[in-house]
């Protein structure tokens, strides 16, 4: 018998179990929804630990940084793997650090945050807690992109507009407008993407918990011709007093305020079916955007009847007679003309920020300024807090 026939006869005589390859070990957990298409890692474990993995055979040290740094271990094939401690649900930026250099994880989608495109990780909330920002089988609005030439900056600019369900069909209906700003190091893409603004509003409107409204999201930085660009520095305000932080915020946002007043609001009112009066116009923002909302809203009470600070405040109210031109000098008059003043923050935000939130809330209360106050328990200065803040703010807005 020829050798090939002998081998075939031998294989045919073996039991089936001897011919079966060993089953591959199942991978732990599930891939994150923020992974690049087809990427198996990062993986989420049932207890919210995260398994990170990357192939870097020539690297000497690999770490993954998500609020704290985790050292990865290299295997014989050059893969570096680490399992983190349990992470808080919600959206988080993270970095891959290879031999001391922070880079994006090739297995992750990237999101504009921290002043650059950055890897991101979405960890689901338990049960139905996060259903309000997930796509549901409800009527959907749209997020539209609008480019324009700014008279203030003499340069092209862009904003996004959320239009509620039925906007194109209900041609005779006009809508109130919320101007919603992002945080420091982010841009006009943040609320539509990281913030899930369309999903939140679609679900709230469908449930009758929020009024149909337009939401305009602009880039919160603006430079006039000849102005020098100021790079984002997360620690730039670390040693400033609240009064110094407030002064810096006003100075940095002055040109953006002009963009809002001279470019954006007139264009929105001329282009979209708005209710173009102060009672139907609101401004709010996350962190830096919250500071801008208080600054622009309080300095222009004829334009805005509602203001929201989402993990952002109006700074220090030292003397009500001089604070933003004396806006709080007559408390009764302010309360009478203001539809909604909202302050919301996470219950686990950094201590320095918590001090500012508590002080601002206490001072408003002391002065008798009517305002809504909300605390997102267990969350920090992250997008889960802001999604909750938007839910709480928008359900109170334009009522």
Do 182 and 84 share a structural domain? no
- Per-residue pLDDT at 241 exceeds 70: no
pLDDT of residue 14: 42
95 in Cβ contact with 67 (< 8 Å): no
Examine residue 193 and state whether it is found in any structural domain, yes or no. yes
User: Which residue range is the domain that position 333 belongs to?
Assistant: 131-396
Has residue 107 got a pLDDT over 60?
Answer: yes
Reported as a pLDDT band with limits 50, 70 and 90, residue 26 is confident
Strand-pairing partners, residue 143, are: 162
- Domain tally, the chain: 2
Q: Give me the mean pLDDT over the 251-267 stretch.
A: 92
Residue 383 parent element (H or E):
helix 383-396
Contact, 109 vs 143, CB < 8 A? no
Q: What is the pLDDT of residue 227?
A: 84
Please identify, among 105, 123, 141, the residue that sits at the C-terminal boundary of a domain.
123
**Residue 11 pLDDT grade (very low, low, confident, very high; cuts 50, 70, 90):** very low
Alpha-carbon gap, residue 20 to 328, rounded angstroms: 79
**Percent of the residues in the chain that have a pLDDT greater than 90, as a whole number:** 85
Q: Quick check: 376 pLDDT over 60?
A: yes
> What's the pLDDT score for residue 151?
97
The pLDDT tens digits of the residues spanning 124-138 come to: 999 999 999 999 999
* 70, 135: one domain: no
CATH, residue 100? 2.60.40.10
Over residues 294-319, the pLDDT tens digits come to: 999 999 999 999 999 999 999 999 99
Judgement on whether residues 51 and 72 belong to the same structural domain of the protein:
yes
SS3 310: strand
């Amino acid at each position: 018998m020829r050798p090939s026939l002998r081998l075939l006869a031998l294989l045919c005589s073996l039991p089936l179990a001897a011919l079966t390859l060993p089953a591959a070990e199942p991978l732990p957990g599930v891939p994150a929804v923020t992974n690049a298409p087809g990427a198996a890692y990062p993986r989420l474990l049932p207890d919210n630990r995260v398994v990170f993995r990357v192939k870097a055979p020539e690297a000497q040290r690999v770490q993954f940084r998500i609020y704290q740094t985790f050292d990865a271990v290299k295997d014989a094939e050059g893969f570096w793997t680490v399992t983190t401690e349990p992470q808080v649900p919600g959206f988080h930026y993270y970095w891959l650090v290879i031999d001391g250099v922070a880079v994006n994880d090739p297995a992750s989608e990237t999101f504009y945050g921290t002043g650059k495109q950055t890897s991101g990780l979405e960890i689901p909330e338990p049960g139905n807690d996060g259903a309000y920002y997930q796509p549901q089988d409800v009527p959907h609005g749209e997020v539209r992109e609008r480019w324009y030439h700014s008279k203030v900056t003499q340069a092209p600019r862009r904003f996004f507009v959320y239009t509620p369900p039925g906007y194109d069909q209900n041609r005779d209906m006009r809508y109130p407008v919320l101007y919603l700003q992002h945080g420091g190091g982010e841009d006009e893409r943040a609320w539509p993407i990281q913030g899930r603004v369309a999903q939140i509003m679609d679900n709230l409107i469908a449930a009758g918990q929020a009024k149909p409204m337009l939401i305009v999201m602009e880039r919160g930085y603006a430079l006039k011709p000849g102005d020098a660009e100021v790079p984002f520095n997360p620690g730039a305000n670390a040693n400033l007093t609240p009064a110094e932080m407030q002064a810096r915020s006003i100075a940095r946002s002055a040109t953006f305020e002009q963009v809002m007043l001279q470019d954006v609001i007139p264009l929105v009112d001329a282009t979209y079916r708005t209710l173009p009066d102060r009672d139907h116009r609101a401004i709010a923002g996350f962190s830096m955007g919250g500071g801008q909302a208080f600054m622009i809203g309080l300095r222009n009470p004829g334009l805005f009847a509602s203001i929201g600070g989402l993990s952002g405040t109006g700074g220090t109210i030292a003397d009500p007679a001089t604070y933003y031109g004396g806006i709080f000098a007559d408390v009764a008059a302010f309360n009478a003309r203001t539809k909604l003043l909202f302050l919301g923050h996470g219950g686990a935000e950094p201590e320095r920020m918590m001090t500012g939130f508590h002080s601002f809330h206490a001072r408003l209360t002391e002065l008798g300024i009517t305002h809504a106050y909300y605390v997102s328990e267990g969350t920090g200065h992250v997008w889960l807090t802001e999604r909750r803040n938007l839910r709480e703010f928008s359900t109170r807005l334009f009522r």
